Every structure is written in C-alpha cells, then in structure tokens.
Amino acid sequence: MTSTALPIDLGDGIVLTATVVADAEAAYRVVERERDRLRQWLPWIDDTTSVRIEREFLASLESANADGSGLHATIRLDGEFAGVAGLRISAVHRSAEVGYWLAARAVGRGVMTRAVAALIDIAIRDRALNRVELMAATANHRSRAVAERLGLRLEGVRRQAELLASGFVDLAVYSTLAAEWPGAAAALAAARDQARGATNH
C-alpha cells in the first residue's frame, strides 16, 4: 500500500520522495557531519554509528510505507538529501504522529513547515485520518514553531517524556483534527500572513 501521493514538489527546490534504503549513505553523511547539533533533540543519534545501522532503520521505514503503518518522506533540497519527515500511523485510532529532522543547510528556509503541512494533508485527505499529533521538547523552539505556524493546537505538556543526551525533557503536545485542518495551502498562507504581520510591528 505505497502512497501514490509521493513524490510532491513543494516549490523552491523542495521535493518529498518516499524514503528508501538507497537514501542511507546520504542520510548517514549528514548524521556524521552534524552529530553534535542533531544530538540536542534527537534521541537516536548516538546509536546511529554506521551506514549499516542507518540502512536497517530506513528499511523499517520503507516497510512501514509499504504496509500502510507509516508514511515516511525523504526531503530533497535542490536535488540533494536534506532530511526526513514522516507519519507513524495508527489505523485503529485513525491518527498519526509526525516526526522529522533536517540538515543544517535547509534550516531557516521554511522547508519543514511546508513538508509537515503536506504530510498532514496526506494523512487527513488521502488516508482519512482524524487526528495528527506533533510532539517537541518544550525548549526546542524551532520544532515548536513548525506546529504553531501551521495552527496546531497546544494540548499540554508530557512531563519528562523523552530521554535525550542531556537527560529527560518535557514534550509539548500539539494536534490538529480533520474537522479543523484548513488544508496545507490555507495553513501556509495563514503562516505567511502571520509572519508579515509580525515584521510590520
């Protein structure tokens, strides 16, 4: 049950393609080069110590794409690997959790906001899911900003819910429901309007 929604061209050189094992070497190069930066918010970084381990992990994502338990996309920027964004899907509850990481060269360009909006569209419109959830460490302001730009609702905080290299951290929980999601285009337009309003004050 591979998704027919991918690849998606998001414009400005940003393309989402289905994650495959062949992405492993490019992904691992970024992990090795940016390990110190990524370790701050990603609990799996220190366990990813070889291309083989990365390949095995991406094989699990490829399998999830195939059986419908996930939808995992490789983010390409100007044709090169720039990160991963994906959905872990619960068919029983018609819900999904979105997760992602991004190479440094793609940070600050609106890449992840567009990628997450596209994945929420697929979850709600193509997969008929009712709820999409996004969790981020309370101090991870960049990640939280993705949820807030897209109008996801802050539901609360899960105390000491994730163990990172620095210790246990609290997770801010955001969500959107099918009944309230306006669609990626509208959500991104609202985010642009909000950003323009902020710069005009």
Tens digits of residue pLDDT in 114-158:
999 999 999 999 999 999 999 999 999 999 999 999 999 999 999
Helix ranges (DSSP H) in the chain: 24-33, 35-39, 51-67, 111-121, 141-149, 184-199
Relative to beta strand 70-77, strand 14-18 is antiparallel
Residue with tokens 């959500």: 187
**According to the model, what pLDDT value does residue 95 have?**
98
Report the interhelical angle of 184-199 vs 141-149 (nearest 10°): 110
- Which residues, listed in sequence order, are joined to residue 154 by a DSSP beta bridge? 174
Residue with tokens 């690849």: 7
Residue 58 has pLDDT above 70, yes or no: yes
Structural domain spans, the chain: 8-199
Q: How confident is the model at residue 194 (pLDDT cuts 50, 70, 90)?
A: confident
User: What is the CATH code of the structural domain delimited by 8-199?
Assistant: 3.40.630.30
**According to the model, what pLDDT value does residue 201 have?**
60
Rounded Cα gap, residues 187 and 37, in angstroms: 29
Residue 1 has pLDDT above 60, yes or no: no
Work out the burial of residue 76: count CB atoms within 10 Å of its CB; fewer than 13 is exposed, 13-18 middle, 19 or more buried: buried
